[in-house]
């Protein structure tokens, strides 16, 4: 039965969706069965996987808010190599609607119980906020992956997210763990980036992945083509970095199991 991982950071623009899509693609390239769940109302992960978010019949909104089964909301885009549960702007309404339903923090976890067994890994792309949707992802997950850009405000927002993870662990999901921090959009020529990177390693030690995701034009271009960077330019620095990230991630999770 596959483990579920929330890919989250309350700060936007840190490469969260890029990481979810490209880690999913890299894991699938190794032969793993992968499901990507898009919980972000912006639907960028859906678009980045080649799904027309404006024309989906059912998606993650329907799974969380109605009786639609998870399996019925999953699509397999051509030549992608992994499955996607897409979303669109309908998900915006879920933020308010969830406040009035029973087991509001557990809706996603309950919906995925019958689907987990079909996958090695399930990755959830969360909204860039500590919202009810993000809370659903954390309650459903066994691990949390935090993409983080090595800049001045990075550590400030991180502490709030870690407190939320700890609260969820104590109150709703005892199995939840921090799987690791992923340094994204990294420029080794930037002194501040190097300084923040050292601070992360000092504070979090082995929780910081060795693999570093660089700033890369190909990574930025791939979403406009609706494909992961591994399919857009396999030899690019971004593609190589995410393949290395996937290998390290699998090794770590195998050790934890």
pLDDT digits (tens, 9 = 90+) for 118-162: 999 999 999 988 889 999 999 999 999 999 988 877 777 788 889
Percentage of the residues of the chain whose pLDDT score is greater than 70: 99
Question: Is the full-model pTM beyond 0.85?
Answer: yes
Query: In the structure, what pLDDT confidence band is assigned to residue 257 with cuts at 50, 70 and 90?
Result: low
Domains and CATH numbers, the chain: 3-256 (3.40.50.300)
Mean pLDDT of the chain: 92
Residue 26 above 70 pLDDT?
A: yes
In this structure, are residues 82 and 51 in contact, taking their beta carbons and an 8 Å threshold? no
The mean pLDDT value for 75-95 works out to: 91
- Has residue 58 got a pLDDT over 90? yes
pLDDT at 177 over 90: yes
Give the pLDDT score at 96: 85
Q: Which positions ≥6 away from 201 have C-beta within 8 Å?
A: 208
User: What's the distance, CA 33 to chain centroid?
Assistant: 16
pLDDT reported for residue 192: 86
State the residue for tokens 């420029």. 187
Report helix, strand or coil for 74.
Answer: coil
- What pLDDT does residue 19 have? 97
- Hey, what are 142's tokens? 């066994």
Split at pLDDT 50, 70, 90, the class of 79 is confident
List pLDDT tens digits, range 203-244. 899 999 999 999 999 999 999 999 999 999 999 999 999 999
């Amino acid at each position: 039965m596959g483990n579920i991982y929330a890919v989250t950071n309350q700060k936007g623009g840190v490469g969260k969706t890029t990481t979810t899509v490209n880690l999913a693609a890299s894991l699938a390239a190794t032969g793993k069965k992968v499901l990507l769940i898009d919980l972000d109302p912006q639907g960028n992960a859906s678009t980045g996987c080649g799904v027309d978010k404006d024309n989906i019949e059912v998606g993650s909104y329907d799974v969380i808010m109605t009786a639609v089964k998870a399996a019925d909301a999953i699509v397999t885009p051509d030549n992608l190599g992994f499955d996607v549960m897409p979303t669109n702007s309908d998900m915006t309404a879920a933020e308010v609607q969830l406040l009035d339903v029973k087991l509001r923090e557990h809706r996603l976890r309950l919906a995925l119980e019958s689907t987990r067994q079909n996958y090695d890994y399930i990755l959830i792309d969360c909204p860039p906020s500590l919202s009810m949707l993000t809370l659903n992802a954390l309650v459903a997950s066994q691990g949390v992956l935090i993409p983080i850009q090595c800049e001045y405000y990075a550590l400030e927002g991180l502490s709030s997210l870690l407190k939320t993870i700890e609260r969820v662990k104590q109150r709703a999901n005892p199995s939840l763990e921090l799987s690791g921090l992923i340094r994204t959009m990294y420029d080794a020529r930037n002194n501040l980036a190097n300084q923040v990177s050292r601070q992360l390693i000092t504070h979090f030690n082995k929780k910081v992945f060795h693999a570093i995701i660089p700033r890369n034009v190909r990574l930025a271009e791939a979403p406009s083509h609706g494909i992961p960077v591994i399919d857009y330019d396999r030899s690019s620095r971004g593609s190589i970095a995410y393949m290395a990230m996937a290998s390290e991630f699998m090794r770590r999770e195998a050790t934890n199991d």
